[in-house]
Structure 1
Amino acid sequence: IDPLVVLIKKLKEHSHLSQEDLLEIRRLPCSVRELDSHEDFIRQGDRPKVSAIVVEGMLARYHLLPNGARQYLSFHLAGDMPDSQCLFIEAMDHAVCAIGKAVVASVPHRDLMKLFDSRPKVGAAIWRETLIDAAIFREAITNNSARSAPARMAHLFCELFYRSRASGLARGDTCVLPIGLNQLGEALGLSLATVNRALANLRDSDLADFKSGSLTIKNWANLAKCGEFNPRYLHLRREPF
């Protein structure tokens, strides 16, 4: 898999780029590495000189708390650049790790900045990517503070399935979701017992089933209603449904 082709596919979900723009993206230097489950790509406090492209699998942003617990902030699929903000800030205020095994490409900041100068539309597309990330953060704050446990779970499942489908990663009504139950709780601010009850609620209501790293949507309309999910904050050019 060519990491830059994966990036181009993702950017085209929300931005219009010319053939010349795409050609220059393809010329970016990058190196590829595999990450083990839970392995950090960047740690809190690091001053990175490269940005990541998710090639395969899933990455997550998280805050490491003083007691060693994690607060997961967002999840990132193939084509995402989960640390693109570090192009413009000196030190990372959060960490990025693999959720399950993942493949990641690294692109030097200096080459990205040169590309932004020569192809401003590419810079705007990656800037738009960071703005969409910010919209996802805002939605997560609302989700975790204003909704019940089943609604929080439903909203997160809707978002990840919608994004997977837009990126061509879903198969029918199912997508790979290598998130553990503890990680779901750390993302949604729920105890493990509450996570299990929320999952049972969605399953018994015939809305969604999540097991063994796989999410299956049983009734999209009702799941979206339960989670009060409106995909406008994802700012995609085309709806995947």
Structure 2
Amino acid sequence: MGERRQGFGNVLLPIGLSIILVVSLVACSRENATISSFDVKPLVCATFGAEVGPTLSEGVVVTIQSDSFEKDAIYEVAVISPDSTYRWERSVQPFPVGDLLYIGMNDLLLPPDLKLQQGVWNVEVFSQDGSRLSEEFDFVRPQTAMTKAHLAVSIVDGMQWLVLDDAPQLRGLGTEDNPQWLYRFYDSDGNLLTVLESTGDQILSPLFVDMTLQKRTHLITAMRYDVESGVYLMVRQFFT
């Protein structure tokens, strides 16, 4: 989602089934710079370590659109929980959707076993010229949808590198009920290496052939949006 780097650490990502807020500027030092649209959706994530797992975490996925965004610029974004206990900061670069530019964060996770706080959250966007955009949104945790999402990710297996019939591959998450997952591969510094989309539970790619990607990969995230519940599902797999 246009991320420059994903954080691996603690972790609060991007509705009372769904919250889409179209907002006006709250605070900005540059004239005519506004947040045009703002989208927040809840997330449930299962995290697997090299030998243990899973732990379950809740979070949010945040997507922001502004006509003031510049394609090659880097923006600092902060998301703050209602009681200010948690604050997530990311450096992000806009990504295009049609003629519009968006920024997004999809790994804002609470520590394991904590529930998303209901109430007024705050988002701040800082540009390189020092200008600031800010917005507030009122979040209501969708209890039934989140319970279903917890169940959905709690029964999946972790991802694993395999070699079958001399073909390097990744054991993925695709099933008949949950076919389509988006996989992101990161190195130990949090840099995005590549992105793959797959519907199967055995993922083949030319990138896997020489084993270079496998050696560099420290984290794989798999993500999909459940339309029925309005919740993002994520599985994270760490490798040593």
What is the TM-score normalised by the length of structure 2? 0.26
Judging by fraction of residues, say which structure has more helix: 1
Higher strand share: 2
TM-score between the two structures when normalised by the length of structure 1: 0.26
